Structure 1
Amino acid sequence: MPELENNFYNKNLKPLARNMRNDSTKAEIRLWCEILSGKRMLGYGFRRQRPVGNYIADFLCKELMLIVEVDGYSHNFKMEEDVKRDAQLQALGFTTLRFSDREVMQDIENVWRTLEFWIFEGENSLS
């Protein structure tokens, strides 16, 4: 899928993405360590803080064309920006699933179930 990578990967954001990986929130670290790293999510691989278009996705799975975002308190004041961002990412072919810091920290099992459900639904729609 290298040609697809070139359609959305923004190498100019690579240094910022690296800094963001080194400065992850507790919720991002928990989601990565408990669910998304090491192909734990039904065998699908995710990358952390990945440049996509003009944005940096918290977590990205190219195979599923899925972006997972963990929204902290500041996102309560950025709802319009998030809608615009999600629309632009959708135009690139991605689906964005958003979870709050609180959901990740207090109800990680439901986050896991939501991701599994989304993947199962996607796989079943392809068959």
Structure 2
Amino acid sequence: MTHRDVPHHHRHFARTLRADATWAENRLWQVLRAKHLGGFNFRRQVPLDGYNLDFVCFEARVIVEVDGHQHAESERDARRDVWFRSQGLRVLRIWNGEVEENLDGVCSFILGELRNCGE
């Protein structure tokens, strides 16, 4: 799917999500943006296949979702993850509290996954 294939309302919603990001999403974005994490390029709030991805590194085919308690045991999220895995993407789910309490550990985990992208 290219940028032109994304319906206007999906792009608009992604812009809204970027403007209304959680503290944890904003904090993690400060590390991921501008290739600050191992030189990998991330985009945030990317509309893809009818979903909005919190962060995605297309180069490594890794999606990072930063979630609050409302996502615990979400069937919709499980279906979404299965879909993206079937498309060859890895989905990393990280809790807001992990970002708030252990940002260095979260970044080490993500970087490890990015570096293992070919495995």
- Fold equivalence (TM over 0.5): yes
CA RMSD between the two structures: 1.7
Give the Cα–Cα distance (whole angstroms) in 2 for the partners of residues 9 and 40 of structure 1: 28
In structure 2, the residue matched to 1:20 is: 17
Spell out structure 1 runs of 4+ moving beyond 6 A.
none
How do residues 36-75 of structure 1 correspond to structure 2 at under 5 angstroms? 36-75=32-71
Give the Cα–Cα distance (whole angstroms) in 2 for the partners of residues 30 and 91 of structure 1: 30
**Alpha-carbon deviations, 1:1-53, whole Å to 9, x = none?**
xxxx53x98511111001100100000000001x2011011111101100111
Give the TM-score taking structure 1 as reference length. 0.84
Give the TM-score taking structure 2 as reference length. 0.90
Give the Cα–Cα distance (whole angstroms) in 2 for the partners of residues 90 and 119 of structure 1: 15
Contact 2:61-2:117 at 8 Å conserved across structures: no
Aligned length: 117
How do residues 1-127 of structure 1 correspond to structure 2 at under 5 angstroms? 5-6=1-2, 11-12=6-7, 13-33=10-30, 35-76=31-72, 78=74, 80-123=75-118, 125=119
Gaps of 5+ in 2: none
